[in-house]
Amino acid sequence: MTSALRTAAVLTAMLGLMPAAPVLAASPAAAIKAMDPDNDGTLDLAEVKAAATALFAALDPDKDGTLDAKELKGRVSAKQLKALDPDKDGTLDQAEYLALVEAAFQAANPDGDGTVDAKELSTSKGKALLKLIQ
């Protein structure tokens, strides 16, 4: 099993255990509008990964290419960071972070249509995804 698949499996199992997301800066509909360049009213995986990549860069002020617990700013608990860190260095690099985001996207997309809409983002799993991309 690849590290990305292991990460996805761990995240999928842990999403049900994640605490409720804090109040987000934007409603699900506003988040979609901000991250939906094709204006179809949904977010697909490419749009989510683009938002996650931009957020990763913004959260990495020392520009070392990794995010530690402090830089993740509560988006991932210490326990989750440990479980999601396949190389056990205490940080997530961009590939590890994007694997986490992809697994969160899949969990937030229960109908499997390849997109998440405002209704899906309003669920606990959708809110967990939003924590990782905004």
- For 40-81, the pLDDT digits (tens) are 999 999 999 999 999 999 999 999 999 999 999 999 988 889
Which has more pLDDT, 127 or 4? 127
Percent helix, strand and coil across the chain, each to the nearest 5: 55, 5, 35
pLDDT of 15 reads 46
Q: pLDDT grade, residue 25 (50/70/90)? A: low
pLDDT at 17 over 50: no
What DSSP character marks residue 67? E
pLDDT of 77 reads 86
Look up residue 22 and give its two tokens.
């804090």
Q: Where are the domains of the chain?
A: 3-18+26-133
- Could you tell me the sign of the dihedral formed by the alpha carbons of 23, 29, 30, 36, in that order? positive
Question: What are 89-114's pLDDT values in tens digits?
Answer: 999 999 999 999 999 999 999 999 99
pLDDT at 10 over 70: no
pLDDT of 43 reads 98
Would you say the pTM of this structure is higher than 0.75?
Answer: yes
